[in-house]
Structure 1
Amino acid sequence: MRLPSTRRQFLASTGLTALAATAGCVSAVGSDAAADSGTATGTATPEPTPESLDDWLDDANGYDGEPARFGPAARPTVMVGEETDDGLAFDPPVIEVPPGTLVRWDWTGHGGQHNVVALDGPFDSGRTNAQPGTGYRYFFEEPGEYRYVSEPHREDGMQGAVLVREPPSSGNEAVDEWLVASSNFDGTIADRTDASTVTVTTGADGNGGRFAFDPPALRVAAGTTVRWDWTGHGGPHNVVSKGDGPLDSDLVAEGDSAYEHTFEESGTHLYSCKPHEGLGMRGAVVVE
C-alpha cells in the first residue's frame, strides 16, 4: 500500500501555474506531458526509520551536515533530481524553516521518475513524474521534523528533511532577520563591551564549509576597534556593510590578512562577505 495522499492536482499549462496554498494543504502542478508521464509507484509503506535524524541522513546524497536555514519571509525551493557525486539528490537535502512557511519542490528532469513523499504521511506529491518544470508545494504550519524521500530512488540515498522550528532570537530584530540564514548564529550576541579591540574570524566553519564569521554577532562599546582576521580558508572573502555602512574591505584570500574599523557611534551595523552572502556568511556589530 502507498502512503496516504493529501489533496493533489495536476493542471495543464505551458509552464508552472501558481496555486493558492492553505494551512495543511498541498498542490502539484505541471504540463500535460508531465501528468501523462507519471506512473503509480506501488511502493510499499517505508519501514520505520532510525530515531536519530542525523543517523537517517548519513546516507542522504548531497548532505554536508548543515541544514539550509530560511527566515520568515522566505519561500524556499528544493530541486528534485539534482545530480551529485553520490547519485541523485534533493537540493538542498535538508532545510530549516519557521512555522508558516510554504516550501516548493521543482523537478529538474534528471534521473527519471521522482516524487516527494513524507515518511509519516503529512504530504505526498502523488504518482512519480519525470517531466522538468513539474512543481509541488506544501504549507508547513506545525513545528517538527518532516523526513521524506523520492520513492523510486530511496534506496539510492535520495532522501531529505524539512525542519520546522522557530528561528533564533537575540531580541534585536534587525540582527535576527539578517543572520537567520547564518548556520552558526544561535541567537547569541557576543558581549565584548569591556574590550577596546575585538577580533572576528573570517572564513570560520559554517554554512557548509569555511563560510562564516565567528562570532557572527558582537556587542561592543562606542570607540571599540573590531578586527577581522582571515583564516585563508573558503576562498576569497571581504567585509562589506549592508547598505551605506562604514565597512568596505578588499576581497582577499590570504590567511595573514586583516581589516579593522573603529566604531565611534552607537547603532546596529550589518555586514557580509559579498561572494558568500547567499550561503549565509553574514555578521553584525551592535555598538552601545
Structure 2
Amino acid sequence: MGLGALVGFDAVRSVNAGAETTGDHHDADPSADGDPLDDWLATANDPRTPQVRDFRFDDPPTVYLDVADSKSFSPPAVKVEPGTTVTWEWTDADDEHNVVAVDGEFDSGPAESEAGTTFEHTFEDAGTYRYVSEPQADAGMKGVVVAEPAPSSEYPAVDEWLVDTNGYDGTITERTGEDLVEVVTGADGNGGHFAFEPHAVKVSAGTTVRWAWTGEGGGHDVVFEDADVRTESIAVEPGVHFEHTFNEPGVFRYACRPHRALGHRGAIVVE
C-alpha cells in the first residue's frame, strides 16, 4: 500500500474519531441533517446509486468485495438489527483487500486476494460503523453498517412493509371515527417527493380515504398489495385523483409503482 493511501486512511480515522459519540452509538444519527454519512457514501464505489439497504426483516447480509473488479463493497451500505452478524466475502483473486473499521471496531487482518475468503463480525451495539479496504481506501472502496432497532408497532406487517421508508418510526396515525381521511402522495421524503403522508393511518370500517397529489416528484399512482384496489393510471397534476371506501377490517399495504423501490409506500389499518 502506498504512502498516499496510508495518509488518506489515517485522515479518515482521525475525522471519524472526532465524530464518535459516547455510549453504544459509534456515530451520529445517520438520518440527521448535516451528518457526514451522506458524504461518506457519495465517495464510495458502487455499481448502483449508493443507498442504505435495509436487512432488518431479512436474512443477515453478505457483503461482496470487488465484484467485477469494481473496487467496491456490494452493497456498500447496510442497515441491520443490533446483534446481527454481517459476512464479507472476497470475489476477486487479482487484488488484495481487507475489511477494516475506521474506529477500530473490527479488522479482518492483512489484505489478501483469495476468492471465497470470508470475514464475519457481530454488531452487538446500535451505531454507525464506517469501514474500508485499506489498499483501495483512497480509490473509494469503503462501506458502512448501520445497526439500529427496527420500528415496532402492534402491526408487524406494517412495520416490515414500511421499515425502509423515509421517516417511519412505528407511528400509525390515529384517524378512527372520521368519515373522510386524506393522504398526500408526492410528499417530501425518500430523497425527493416520493412519500405518502402519513405513512400509515388507522381508520374505522366504512371510512373513505382519498389521495391528493402534490404535483411534485413526477407521476404517481396508488396500487394495493392486499386488495384489488388501484388507480387507473399514473397521474402527474396536483389534486385528488383517487379514493376508496374501506368496509372490511384488515391491514392494507400499498405503493406508488414508479417509486416503490425508493420507499414510496404506505399502509391503511382498518378497525
TM-score by length of 1: 0.68
Residue 160 of structure 2 corresponds to 177
SS in structure 2 of the partner of residue 58 of structure 1:
helix
| CA–CA separation in structure 1 for the residues paired with 2:163 and 2:113 | 34
Higher mean C-alpha deviation, range 191-200 or range 124-133: 124-133
Q: Which of 48, 53, 64 is the equivalent residue of 1:68? A: 53
Which one-letter code corresponds to 2:204 in the other structure?
A
Cα–Cα, structure 1 residues 153 and 144, in superposed 2: closer, same or farther, change >3 Å? same
CA RMSD after TM alignment: 3.7
Which one-letter code corresponds to 1:218 in the other structure?
V
Residue 24 of structure 2 corresponds to none
Cα–Cα, structure 1 residues 82 and 186, in superposed 2: closer, same or farther, change >3 Å? farther
| CA–CA separation in structure 1 for the residues paired with 2:220 and 2:114 | 39
Matched, 1:231 2:214: yes
Deviation at 1:229, TM superposition (A): 2.4
Deviation at 1:146, TM superposition (A): 1.6
Alpha carbons 2:133, 2:142 under 8 Å: kept: yes
Which one-letter code corresponds to 1:173 in the other structure?
P
Deviation at 1:216, TM superposition (A): 1.0
Alpha carbons 1:67, 1:94 under 8 Å: kept: yes
Residue 255 of structure 2 corresponds to 272
Deviation at 1:122, TM superposition (A): 3.2
Residue 22 of structure 2 corresponds to none
SS in structure 2 of the partner of residue 175 of structure 1:
helix
Which one-letter code corresponds to 1:174 in the other structure?
A
Alpha carbons 2:184, 2:198 under 8 Å: kept: yes
Q: What pairs up with 1:91-240 in 2 under 5 angstroms?
A: 92-105=75-88, 114-128=97-111, 136-155=119-138, 157-240=140-223
Cα–Cα, structure 1 residues 174 and 93, in superposed 2: closer, same or farther, change >3 Å? same
Higher mean C-alpha deviation, range 141-150 or range 182-191: 141-150
Structure number having the greater helix percentage = 2
Alpha carbons 2:72, 2:140 under 8 Å: kept: yes
| CA–CA separation in structure 2 for the residues paired with 1:135 and 1:183 | 32
Q: How big is each residue's C-alpha offset from its partner over 1:240-259, in whole Å with a ceiling of 9 and x where there is no partner?
A: 2224x142223414133621
| CA–CA separation in structure 1 for the residues paired with 2:208 and 2:102 | 51
TM-score by length of 2: 0.71
| CA–CA separation in structure 2 for the residues paired with 1:146 and 1:162 | 5
Matched, 1:256 2:238: yes
Q: Percent identity?
A: 45
Deviation at 1:218, TM superposition (A): 0.3
Cα–Cα, structure 1 residues 107 and 254, in superposed 2: closer, same or farther, change >3 Å? farther
Where in structure 1 do 4 or more consecutive aligned residues deviate above 6 Å?
Answer: 39-42, 63-66, 130-134
Which one-letter code corresponds to 1:171 in the other structure?
E
Deviation at 1:262, TM superposition (A): 0.8
Alpha carbons 2:211, 2:242 under 8 Å: kept: yes
Deviation at 1:172, TM superposition (A): 1.8
| CA–CA separation in structure 2 for the residues paired with 1:212 and 1:105 | 33
Cα–Cα, structure 1 residues 78 and 277, in superposed 2: closer, same or farther, change >3 Å? farther
SS in structure 1 of the partner of residue 143 of structure 2:
strand
Deviation at 1:89, TM superposition (A): 5.5
**Structure 1 stretches lacking a partner, 5+ long:** 1-38
SS in structure 2 of the partner of residue 283 of structure 1:
strand
Cα–Cα, structure 1 residues 235 and 192, in superposed 2: closer, same or farther, change >3 Å? same
| CA–CA separation in structure 1 for the residues paired with 2:97 and 2:212 | 45
Which one-letter code corresponds to 1:224 in the other structure?
T
Alpha carbons 2:130, 2:143 under 8 Å: kept: yes
Deviation at 1:40, TM superposition (A): 11
Cα–Cα, structure 1 residues 56 and 97, in superposed 2: closer, same or farther, change >3 Å? closer
| CA–CA separation in structure 2 for the residues paired with 1:206 and 1:80 | 31
| CA–CA separation in structure 2 for the residues paired with 1:132 and 1:254 | 48
Alpha carbons 2:42, 2:50 under 8 Å: kept: no
Deviation at 1:186, TM superposition (A): 1.1
Q: Which of 215, 219, 229 is the equivalent residue of 1:247? A: 229
